[in-house]
Structure 1
């Protein structure tokens, strides 16, 4: 499929689709949204009116897959549905773009990857940092040796509330264990993926998790210590109960320390001697493609996906280890090589 129009169906028309998936696909050349599915009819109608006027509406995702209207699907649903929906779509001959985190467990993620390989279809994760010029610029700085040998990373992501208290008021699944909620999967997946991307494979993890809200059954705070196979270390700090919103990180190398926060604030490299090097947003990598364009390019064979199923499986192992260690009082969890 090098030039044919790619027909996309979106399963799940909640806030993430309304804010990201639908407008994202609508802007990609040679892609048409032909089907929308959500059990809440008004969600699908809203997306149809705003982004896909010719799309057919479904309330049952299985019926969408049977209709023969799509070449690819975007799975933008609560986490507990990712694996069954993705596997069924792949077995039906569709390429799949799946929201993060990939699945409820590493076992589910591995099954999704196996289904993609068996079907010979693209399985891509919507890990947003992989498609962001800010984080791509950091990856290039590291690859170019600007920091020397990597030794440590500290990443902090603090929020004053969970998604159901902010940008997604109806998204109660974010704070429901049986639906795959919790801060580790919601935010930890992004920060943890960044750590794996820059530092490589993880050898072990020790973590402490806590639940400070009295009305939920998932962790809303987490701190995890990483040991990478390279010998480097990492510290991940997450909260949904912070007094203020805060996102920042430090990447320590033998030749300098890279400091960063929100993408719009630029980057700074500290050296042992001399003036800190400033890297403003105007110097970020140019021409970085978003997730939806990358998905289309991967389907057409133009370029490999920056976040294929293998990447999703790798971060899923880390998420599982953080939760396991947290449940067991911070006991170190070893991660198998490979």
Structure 2
């Protein structure tokens, strides 16, 4: 294969990917087809795209047409796993938007299918392309920070007004979206939290507030405490109801502390490890010598186009993936565990009880305002941009 023929399903968020491909910004790839069930989205595609791009209104028909080699899936959250599974069964390579799905049971099934497909599977975790986060991951993996003792991420810059939520009947509903700030705004941070540190928690206690600041049925304020196998602890705080917000990620280790904030990395580096200092120091009050270092970060941040280019390169040349699709289950496990801990008012061990989560989620879907709207008036348009 010299060129990958790519189709895109979902022309809300997906249209930005369509424009990237149509503009020839991805080496080795061509935009061959697009699909959306909504006529207005199809009309928009006809007006903007060349005649060489075929426009479909039936996703399964497009996927089974033999006219594409790969697909980007940018549809509502619940549809990602089922559409990816169908695509794999048609012999296609798949790039899905985040999140991987709404609950881990459906994502685990998707991962089982791809394991035997021999196809390239990626997820749109474009923040993994950010040199800031790549540098922090590199510092931790190299042992520069020593053994991790604590992680703290305050990510409260996701302000959303009531008018934002009112703009779509599916928004911030259990049936339409599958959650709130954790499933919509925070999948990138939840992924980065475990990807950067290389650690998943072994248990969690979370406190989610549902409709605390806005008239919505899902979580809009979250504080979660986690424990890791090595004894380290972590805290994750997020909300859509605070202004001004904060985005500060702090990782403390045996050899100091690293903070990412305001698009820069600061490393408070201990001259000797805390463990060594504590073992040898006999002076009573005192602490290790510490150097404040501004860590240089080089390179561009290609964001979404970086993931699409990497996906294409993996298909053509076997290039290692920046964001393997199978890893989407990790961040989703964290958000599911936060929900489950709040619903049961208890600790949740990880791996979590996926059957219990699914059962409790179904109860909320049954009573969801979106579910009731669909029964009364039919499906609500969900083709607008997610985020």
- Same fold per TM (> 0.5)? yes
Taking the aligned partners of 1:172 and 1:118, their CA distance within structure 2 comes to 38
Change (3 A) 1:160 1:122: closer
Aligned residue number for residue 22 of structure 1: 18
Superimposed CA distance per residue, residues 225-247 of structure 1 (whole angstroms, 9 cap, x where no aligned partner): 11122322111001011122321
Aligned residue number for residue 220 of structure 1: 220
4+ residue runs of structure 1 moved beyond 3 angstroms? Answer: 23-26, 44-53, 159-166, 168-174, 271-275, 285-289
Q: How far is 1:34 from its partner?
A: 0.9
| 3-state SS of paired residue (1:69) | coil
| 3-state SS of paired residue (1:316) | helix
Taking the aligned partners of 1:134 and 1:115, their CA distance within structure 2 comes to 34
Aligned residue number for residue 129 of structure 2: 131
| 3-state SS of paired residue (2:175) | helix
Change (3 A) 1:285 1:49: same
Change (3 A) 1:101 1:244: same
User: Alignment partner for residue 58 of structure 2, among 57, 60, 68?
Assistant: 60
Taking the aligned partners of 1:174 and 1:293, their CA distance within structure 2 comes to 30
Taking the aligned partners of 2:154 and 2:172, their CA distance within structure 1 comes to 20
Aligned residue number for residue 206 of structure 2: 207
Superimposed CA distance per residue, residues 82-127 of structure 1 (whole angstroms, 9 cap, x where no aligned partner): 1111111111111111111111211101111111122221221111
Change (3 A) 1:164 1:58: farther
Aligned residue number for residue 332 of structure 1: 347
Q: How many residues align?
A: 327
Superimposed CA distance per residue, residues 148-174 of structure 1 (whole angstroms, 9 cap, x where no aligned partner): 2211111111135349855x9855534
After superposition, residues 157-236 of structure 1 pair within 5 angstroms as 157-159=155-157, 161-162=159-160, 165=163, 170=167, 172-179=169-176, 180-199=178-197, 200-211=199-210, 212-236=212-236
Change (3 A) 1:46 1:62: same
1:36 and 1:48 in contact (8 A); partners too: no
Change (3 A) 1:39 1:170: farther
Aligned residue number for residue 153 of structure 1: 151
Higher relative contact order (Cα pairs below 8 Å, separated by 6+ residues): 2
Change (3 A) 1:255 1:49: farther
Unmatched segments (≥5 aa) in structure 2: 271-288, 353-387
Superimposed CA distance per residue, residues 10-51 of structure 1 (whole angstroms, 9 cap, x where no aligned partner): 11111x2234x2244341111011111112233344356556
2:108 and 2:329 in contact (8 A); partners too: yes
User: Alignment partner for residue 278 of structure 1, among 287, 290, 294?
Assistant: 294
Q: Under a length normalisation based on structure 2, what TM-score does the superposition of the two structures give? A: 0.78
